[in-house]
Structure formats: structure tokens, C-alpha cells
């Protein structure tokens, strides 16, 4: 029996060198350990281009599922470790071949330790010869059913016949901080996931309008944040009381400009929160054309109130693609729970689809939003969310 005792992890997108490479690996190493923190007995080790986890009997299925969620991993394999000795290597390769149902195979060897006396080609040949002699398998170098991979390190060699695709991207947290506008909807949690996948550290800002929006609605947002926090550790959610601003906007402008003004205020507040918490960009779950406020004219009008970059990872995605991703990352079922959002409560019947900056400024000149914004920022509350918080509390 092949005994898969060690996970071998390969890195993605590692064209970076020097300090960046070091940061990449350090962060990937700690993120990987964090993801597997609840599994006892694991031993972690790293070299300049691999991470190894000795399983010590831990359940491979759980580890497979968790590792597939760590950004920065390009692929990983469950391997059998043997001493770096050609006889031991041959013996394990043969066992893998004997246990397979496949008919064709190919040997793929990587010699990390150049002092090993045989070159990769020689190792391939010797192992293939052993398999050809003792089984009915045939070599097929172009389209093999079975690929036997051998990675030779100084003392240890890792052998496997599988290669599992990782999540790709960059280790969460190495590329700076972004303030994501997080609603209780389907889109923004998916945007959090996409931003984290590019190595950004995400903080969230949420606009609540109590008593028009309930505690349940707020808790839903915190639960969504806790779910996506799994990918980066913990996730602070800054909660802004938006009620006074929203009421003032409605009083001043009403239908059809209220949504535009509301979103311009949200962006201003998000930018203020960025300054307060050292974020370099705002993130949103906007997607072109999805609703009235997401036409290009609308986006331009809303975006014009801020000076920092706004990252919109979902901008060109279809709703169905976004829903698929929400299901994949596990936020969908929570997102569709029917709790009122501040936007849905005040939702005007005929929001303008082609707002102008001039008209927005005209309305804004008519009330003291500056004071209301300053107050909202000052009274902002922060909740740190962490993986593992359930949704049961408010159901
Ligand atoms: P979502 O599913 O993310 O709520 P949506 O399709 O409902 O998006 P909008 O309500 O127009 O679209 O919101 C667009 C984006 O604005 C959201 O993806 C989110 O980033 C931000 N946003 C909307 N409402 C709020 C809120 N109450 N608090 C924080 N951000 C919000
Ligand atoms: Mg929404």
C-alpha cells in the first residue's frame, strides 16, 4: 500500500524575487498553518520553493479541503516520503504502479538536490524500467493516464501520483489593505474573496440604518464577514450609522436622486475610513448594469467624490457567475436570507440611471452633509469577525 504521509505544496505566481519572494513565502507559510490550526499533530517545514506538512495520521480529506482554500498555493500533492536513495525511490514508484488501474504512465522527476548522484533523466529511466519489468503498464510520454512524480530533496524524496489544483493568487495579506464596502447581499462577500485572492488584506465598512434596518441585518453582515475571514485570518467590520444622513438625503432630494446621493455619501465615508485605518483603496461588489446605480454614468458620478482607487473585482462578471462563486465560498445561503438592507428600505421607485455630477452637487449644496458625515465617522463602531461564527444566532 502506498502510504501518503506528507503533503507537498507548490507556490503560484512566484515570478517575484528578493524581499517580495521572502514575504510571499513567509505569509503563505503562516496562512497555511493558520488554515490548518485546528488539526493536531501536523509538522510544517519549508524550503525555498516548497512547503511540506507531515501528516502524522491526520485526516487527508479535511486537509485537502482546507488547503484548496489557501491563496498562493498553485498545487499540492499527498506524497509518500522515502529516503533519498534510488532503491527506496524505485520501490515506492513500483508500488504506486502496482496499485493503479491505469494502463499507461510517465515518470516526472525533479531533482532539487543537485548533489544527488543521479540526474532526473536517470531516475526516470531506472524507475520506469522497474515498472515495465514488474507490471503490464506501458510508457506514454504524451498523454499518460498515470503520472508518477518524484521530488528529490537532500535527505528526503517525495513521491506521488496526484497533483491537486490550489486556489492560486497571492497569499492573503501581502499586497496592502483595502476597505471593502460590505452589504448583506450576494456580491460584496464575493468581492471580498476576490480581493483577498490577489493578496490584499480586507477590512470592511458597513452602512446600517437603525431602526429601519434590524439587528438581524447587521448580524447577517457580520456572519458573512466571518465566513470570508477564513481566507485571511480575521476581518474588522466598521459599522457606520447611516440613518441621519439617509433621512437628510431623502428630505432634500427624494426620488430619483436619492440613491445617487446615498452612494456618493457612502463613498465619502469609505474614503474617510480608509484614511483612519490606513487602507489604500476602496473595494465594492459593483457589477456593470446590475442595478440603476451601476450604469457607467452612475459609477462615474459616484466615483467622482473620492480621490483614492476603487477596486471592483466583479465589475464585468455576470450575476450567475457571481452566484456560483458565492456558492463555492459558502456565503450564498446567508446572503439570500431576507433581511432588509438600508438601500432596500429607502429604495426609490424611479432611481435615475444617468445622474450628473452637477445635479448631485446642486442637491448636496442644500444640506449640511459634512457635519453628518463627520459625526458618522466619529461614531463608527468596529467589530472584529473571525472564522467559525455561525448564523444560528438570529434564525
Ligand atoms: P450586494 O449584493 O453586494 O449588496 P447589490 O447588487 O445589491 O450588491 P448595490 O446595493 O447597488 O448592489 O450595492 C453595490 C455595492 O455597494 C455593494 O456590492 C457594496 O459593495 C456596496 N454597498 C451597498 N450597500 C451597502 C451597505 N449597506 N453597506 C456597505 N456597502 C454597501
Ligand atoms: Mg445590495
For the packed helices 187-197 and 319-329, what is the interaxial angle rounded to 10 degrees?
A: 70
Rounded-to-integer distance, Cα 180 and Cα 237, Å = 9
Q: Which of 181, 184, 292, 342 to mutate to test the pocket of ligand 1 (most atoms within 8 A of CB)?
A: 181
Cell match 462563486: residue?
Answer: 325
Spatial CB neighbours of 19, under 8 Å, sequence gap ≥ 6: none
Q: Find out whether the beta carbon of 220 lies less than 6 Å from any atom of ligand 1.
A: no
Rounded-to-integer distance, Cα 123 and Cα 82, Å = 14
Q: Find out whether the beta carbon of 186 lies less than 6 Å from any atom of ligand 1.
A: yes
Q: Find out whether the beta carbon of 223 lies less than 6 Å from any atom of ligand 1.
A: no
The predicted-structure confidence for 97-106, as pLDDT tens digits, reads as follows 999 999 999 9
Residue 12: predicted pLDDT = 64
Residue 235: predicted pLDDT = 95
Strands in the chain per DSSP E: 6-11, 43-46, 50-54, 73-83, 104-111, 138-139, 146-152, 156-160, 164-165, 177-181, 201-208, 235-241, 281-283, 310-311, 381-385
The predicted-structure confidence for 65-92, as pLDDT tens digits, reads as follows 999 999 999 999 999 999 999 999 999 9
Say how far residue 309 (Cα) sits from the centre of its chain: 20
Q: What are phi and psi of 101, to 5 degrees?
A: -95, -10
Residue 348: predicted pLDDT = 73
* Helical (H) or strand (E) element with 24: helix 18-35
pLDDT-flagged residues of the chain (< 70): 12-17, 342-347, 389-395
Residue 345: predicted pLDDT = 62
| pTM for the whole structure | 0.88
Q: Is residue 151 helix, strand or coil?
A: strand
Residue 13: predicted pLDDT = 56
Q: Which atom of ligand 1 is nearest to the CA of 240?
A: 28
Q: Going from the N-terminus, what domains does the chain have, and what CATH number goes with each? A: 6-165 (3.30.2130.30), 177-393 (3.40.50.620)
Burial (0-12, 13-18, 19+ Cβ within 10 Å), 377: middle
Amino acid at each position: 500500500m502506498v502510504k501518503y504521509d506528507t503533503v507537498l505544496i507548490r507556490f503560484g505566481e512566484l515570478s517575484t524575487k528578493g524581499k517580495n519572494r521572502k514575504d510571499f513565502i513567509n505569509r503563505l507559510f503562516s496562512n497555511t498553518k493558520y488554515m490548518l490550526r485546528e488539526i493536531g499533530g501536523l509538522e510544517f517545514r519549508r524550503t525555498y520553493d516548497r512547503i511540506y506538512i507531515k501528516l502524522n495520521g491526520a485526516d487527508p480529506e479535511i486537509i485537502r479541503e482546507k488547503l484548496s482554500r489557501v491563496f498562493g498555493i498553485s498545487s499540492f500533492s499527498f506524497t509518500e516520503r522515502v529516503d533519498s536513495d534510488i532503491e527506496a525511490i524505485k520501490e515506492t514508484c513500483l508500488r504506486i504502479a502496482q496499485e493503479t488501474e491505469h494502463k499507461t504512465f510517465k515518470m516526472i522527476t525533479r531533482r532539487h538536490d543537485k548533489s544527488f548522484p543521479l540526474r532526473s533523466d536517470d531516475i526516470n529511466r531506472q524507475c520506469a524500467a522497474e515498472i515495465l519489468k514488474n507490471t503490464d503498464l506501458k510508457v506514454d510520454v504524451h498523454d499518460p493516464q498515470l503520472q508518477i512524480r518524484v521530488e528529490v530533496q537532500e535527505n528526503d524524496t517525495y513521491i506521488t501520483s496526484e497533483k491537486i489544483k490550489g486556489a492560486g493568487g497571492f497569499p492573503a495579506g501581502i499586497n496592502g489593505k483595502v476597505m471593502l464596502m460590505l452589504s448583506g447581499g450576494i456580491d460584496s462577500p464575493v468581492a471580498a474573496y476576490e480581493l483577498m485572492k490577489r493578496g490584499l488584506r480586507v477590512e470592511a465598512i458597513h452602512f446600517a440604518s437603525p431602526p429601519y434596518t434590524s439587528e438581524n441585518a447587521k448580524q447577517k453582515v457580520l456572519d458573512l464577514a466571518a465566513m470570508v475571514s477564513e481566507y485571511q485570518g480575521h476581518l474588522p467590520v466598521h459599522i457606520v450609522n447611516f440613518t441621519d444622513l439617509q433621512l437628510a438625503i431623502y428630505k432634500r432630494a427624494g426620488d430619483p436622486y436619492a440613491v445617487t446621493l446615498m452612494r456618493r455619501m457612502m463613498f465619502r465615508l469609505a474614503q474617510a475610513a480608509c484614511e483612519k485605518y490606513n487602507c489604500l483603496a476602496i473595494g465594492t461588489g459593483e457589477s456593470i448594469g446590475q442595478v440603476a446605480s451601476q450604469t457607467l454614468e452612475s459609477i462615474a458620478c459616484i466615483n467622482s467624490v473620492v480621490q483614492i482607487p476603487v477596486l471592483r473585482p466583479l465589475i464585468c462578471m455576470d450575476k450567475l457567475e457571481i452566484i456560483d462563486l458565492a456558492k463555492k465560498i459558502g456565503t450564498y445561503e446567508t446572503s439570500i436570507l431576507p433581511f432588509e438592507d438600508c438601500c432596500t428600505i429607502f429604495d426609490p421607485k424611479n432611481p435615475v440611471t444617468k445622474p450628473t455630477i452637477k445635479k448631485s452637487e446642486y442637491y448636496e449644496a442644500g444640506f449640511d452633509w459634512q457635519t453628518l458625515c463627520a459625526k458618522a465617522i466619529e461614531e463608527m463602531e468596529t467589530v472584529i469577525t473571525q472564522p467559525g461564527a455561525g448564523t444560528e444566532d438570529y434564525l
